[in-house]
Structure 1
Amino acid sequence: MNRPQMPCNPEEIGSLFLFEQLAPQQLGRLCSEGRVELFEPGPVYAESDPADCFYVMIEGTVVLSRRVGDDDVEVSRTSQRGVYGGAVQAYLGDRVRQVYNNSMRVTEPTRFFVLPADTFAAVMQEWFPMPVHLLEGLFFGSKSVQAAIGQHERLLALGSLSAGLTHELNNPAAAAVRATATLRERVAKMRHKLAALAEGPFSREMLEDLVEIQDRTAERVAKTTALGPLETADREDALADWLEDHGIDHGWQLAPAFVQAGLDTDWLEQVATAVDEEMLSGAVGWLNCTVETELLMNEIEDSTTRVSALVDAAKQYTQLDRAPYQVVDVHQLLDSTLLMLSGKIGPRIEVVKEYDRTLPRIPAYPAQLNQVWTNLLDNAVSAINSAGGQGTLTVRTALVDHERVLVEFRDTGPGVPPEIRSRVFDPFFTTKPLGQGTGLGLDISRRIIVDKHRGSLQFESEPGDTRFQALLPLTAETPGEPS
């Protein structure tokens, strides 16, 4: 757009606080290589566009804003002469992607001194070499420190998750080991029972009937469902009484396994019908071995399935074998993170899932979203623990405005004090005890949600009800570069 260009007066430029210490020849160079432009009310430049000019306001009113999700949030409004914006980091050259970090607009006719970015960089490096070196060191040093601490925080989180995963894996693995050892004993016992049956006076028809009952029993064990405590006790009593009435010793020891397998007195009657009375005790003992073996195999299957599920959750959480940017189901990401953190959450915190299962899949960096969920869940758990360690953690998803997915983490902790609410997203700010937090968790989370995913991260808090809300767009814009 062609805007009115006005004469550049070195004396007027020199009256601006940025340039008041410059020599006349330096001011002359600025006027010869820069320009004065008049902007009517409206935009000057837009956030994320290539930063090709450095702007210094001579007179007028400017408003600076940042994009948060679908909204432009005003961060500054001023009429002070000499305020500046635009390509303020041009002196860093191509070592940093040169884009506008905010949007600028004017609310009345406003005059700017406009300097091309490459000219601004040249005069900075020529006139102020030592300050430029100091600024470069400060900028890149700060980046390095943040990256190092961010990596340290990720390693701490990984250590915590590894400890939790180890704990979660140990339970089913130990159960499988115990069940396998017991199964070995039961198989040996079954071999002895089989030898005893072979030596007994069983007819061919009796053995065929017994094998058929054994097959049906195995099928029933595979399909059994758990009973309530009262129903279990009643059925155990009934089976023990039946076994005792039919002269089978230690019936009370056999009854629990039969009940766990879903068997009842009707099943025992079928066994009694299939064999002679004097063979009943041996047949019941043989079938008891079958039942115990099937139950142990069920336990091993459940344990190994649990281990497999934990490994799948770890793969889902880390996304090691998947593309960095893809279309994902946020519920799968949330479930894998909750499972990885289950050891840290502990039994005293109730986790409530309020998922909208109709939500569509969204384009995202899943591994980085898992890092956000980890940070927000960790903060929620810490808040609940600070209030006694018992409470409720609610994870909710919903569709907002038909355009965004909401992921909300709600805890019943003490809340965020009003005096620090404006600082919770600041780098290195933490309320955790020394050594327990870097203060980068929420800053990293905000940058992942806002910068990488073009979403927004906000919170509401009062005692007993704190909610951190991430809003993610349903459609893909140009994603930010992954860190």
Structure 2
Amino acid sequence: MPIDVEELRTLFLFEGMTPEQLAEVAASSDVRAYPAGSTVYRAGEPSVALWVLLEGTLRLVRHADGEDIVVNETDYRGAYAGAVRAFATSAAAAAYPTSLHAVTGCRFLRFPADAFAAFVQKWFPMAVHLFDGLYLGIRTTEATVRQREHLAQLGTLSANLAHELNNPAAATVRAAGQLRDRVAHMRQKLGMIASGTVDPVVIARLIGIQERAVEIASKKREPLTPLQETDLEDELTDHLDDLGIGGAVDLASVFVAAGLDTTFLDDVAGEVGADLEAALRWLGYTLETEALMNEVEDASNRISTLVASVKQYTHLDQAAHQEVDLHPGLDSTLVMLGHKLADIEVRRDYDTSLRPVPAFAAELNQVWTNLIDNAVDAMKGRGVLELRTYRDGDWAVVDVTDHGHGVPEEVRSRLFEAFVTTKPMGEGSGLGLDNAKRIVEKRHQGTITFTTGPGGTTFTTRLPLTQQR
């Protein structure tokens, strides 16, 4: 049924309009009645009209996290919903974002979206441009800040990775330089052997001694305390002095590091006789060379591990959506943030029986990065970080727990909103948790929540174990 122009004039949206404008609205719209408990429109349906409450109580509902959330419930006459931005020339909503229900018997003015858009653009063109500009400005600003957040996060990860790679790379360079020096000395000793001044029998014994020493050095031993190491070096130095060996201090440190003792030195003395000092020097160079090669190998393995972690973190060579084991992603994130974790004790409690989840692996790693980075910041870089995984029904669950001071009361209800942050000015954009929430809920149909208190905060991420449709 049509609406009376006088009734239309009593609605705050239309007050102040000219008779001509009111007549145009009345001609384009109609009044519809809905009984209590009925649905006017559902979220996801085409946004075909602007609905203005004339009488009754309405309820707006948004579906999120698997449940219906009441956005607004009001009996305020003139309250409106639906195609609110139909007049916009940029990014007008194509579908209703919420569902509209009649709590009591309701009457609504139904203003078709196309007619509403034409009316506003005809009578209020300046307002349309202003609102469009404002809306685009907000979207552009948010997109720019999000991009800066991603760049800042990339910069942090790059700095951490550079720091982690620098240590083994520097160790490799240092060991390679020392290795060159030791090999040069061994060439000199080899020249002495080639000159024929050393008895071949002694050479054979020396090679046997060398092999035994290398075997001893390669065995796993309990690490020595600084005091134990000093006592053993002093003991070997005194013993070498008694055997008449010059530079005993330098040799003693090499032999202690290799696990050799005074009994071994006495055995060497008994086998090589007068050539003892040359034999011990040769043995020292051999052991140093082995140690340096082990250092190069360890450093190279460390670099390979870091590169593998980067590959695991980014999933560059894998399908975007796949069955994902959560644990390698968590571990690779810890590696990427290794520099920030220097004074953090990481405790892992992984459910190894947890099966893979259908996910965008690289995006999930962004979630872990945000949660772990926030946890470290909450503890000011020192404390215990706990990572726990487990299954809860049809969900895979990841807990990230810090032992900081908790989230301030005043921001708890808005913590996942864009631009909300507990960090000091300039240290956070407030988009990390907002981004994490979007990835978990929109991309993976999961949930992310938190509990907090004076003893710390736990963020709980729940991901479905089966593909959601």
TM class by shorter chain equals 0.7 to 0.9
Aligned to 1:180: 176
Of 356, 367, 370, which aligns to 1:372?
Answer: 367
Aligned to 2:223: 227
> What amino acid is aligned across from residue 464 of structure 1 in structure 2?
G
Aligned to 2:420: 429
SS at match of 1:461: strand
Q: Deviations over 1:180-229 (max 9, x none)?
A: 11111100111112223344665555534543553454455445345232
**Cα gap change, 1:126/1:30 in structure 2, threshold over 3 Å: closer, same or farther?**
farther
Aligned positions of 1:124-135 closer than 5 A: 124-135=120-131
SS at match of 2:169: helix
SS at match of 1:276: helix
1:356 aligns with 2:320: no
Cα offset, 1:130, TM superposition: 2.5
**Cα gap change, 1:30/1:380 in structure 2, threshold over 3 Å: closer, same or farther?**
same
Task: Provide the alpha-carbon RMSD of the alignment.
Answer: 3.4
Aligned to 2:258: 261
Cα offset, 1:152, TM superposition: 1.5
Unaligned runs of 5+ in 1: 1-6, 479-483
Aligned positions of 1:26-37 closer than 5 A: 26-31=25-30, 36-37=32-33
1:142 aligns with 2:138: yes
Q: Distance in 2 between matches of 1:266 and 1:99?
A: 86
Aligned to 1:4: none
Q: Distance in 1 between matches of 2:92 and 2:188?
A: 78
Q: Distance in 2 between matches of 1:207 and 1:287?
A: 12
Q: Distance in 2 between matches of 1:56 and 1:238?
A: 95
Asked if the contact 1:197/1:282 (under 8 Å) is kept, the reply is no
Q: Distance in 2 between matches of 1:286 and 1:44?
A: 93
Give the alignment's TM-score, normalised by structure 1.
0.82
**Cα gap change, 1:48/1:207 in structure 2, threshold over 3 Å: closer, same or farther?**
farther
1:343 aligns with 2:334: no
Poorly superposed stretches of 4+, deviation over 6 Å = none
Aligned positions of 1:235-250 closer than 5 A: 236=233, 243=240, 248-250=245-247
Aligned positions of 1:391-402 closer than 5 A: 391-399=382-390, 401-402=392-393
Unaligned runs of 5+ in 2: none
1:309 aligns with 2:305: yes
Cα offset, 1:293, TM superposition: 0.5
Q: Distance in 1 between matches of 2:44 and 2:274?
A: 90
Q: Distance in 1 between matches of 2:105 and 2:468?
A: 33
SS at match of 2:379: helix
Aligned to 1:439: 430
1:384 aligns with 2:379: yes
Q: Distance in 1 between matches of 2:360 and 2:144?
A: 21
Aligned to 2:439: 448
Cα offset, 1:108, TM superposition: 4.3
Q: Distance in 2 between matches of 1:373 and 1:334?
A: 7
SS at match of 1:23: helix
Q: Distance in 2 between matches of 1:25 and 1:90?
A: 17
Q: Distance in 2 between matches of 1:243 and 1:45?
A: 94
Q: Which moved further from structure 2: 335-344 or 49-58?
A: 49-58
Aligned to 1:24: 23
Asked if the contact 2:397/2:463 (under 8 Å) is kept, the reply is yes
Q: Distance in 2 between matches of 1:54 and 1:397?
A: 48
Q: Distance in 2 between matches of 1:208 and 1:118?
A: 100
Work out the number of aligned pairs and report it. 463
Q: Distance in 1 between matches of 2:36 and 2:260?
A: 86
Cα offset, 1:171, TM superposition: 1.7
Asked if the contact 1:380/1:393 (under 8 Å) is kept, the reply is no
Q: Distance in 2 between matches of 1:264 and 1:58?
A: 97
Aligned positions of 1:213-224 closer than 5 A: 213-215=209-211, 217-224=213-220
Aligned to 1:481: none
**Cα gap change, 1:346/1:106 in structure 2, threshold over 3 Å: closer, same or farther?**
farther
Cα offset, 1:286, TM superposition: 1.6
> What amino acid is aligned across from residue 28 of structure 1 in structure 2?
A
Give the alignment's TM-score, normalised by structure 2.
0.84
Q: Distance in 1 between matches of 2:61 and 2:398?
A: 25
SS at match of 1:350: strand
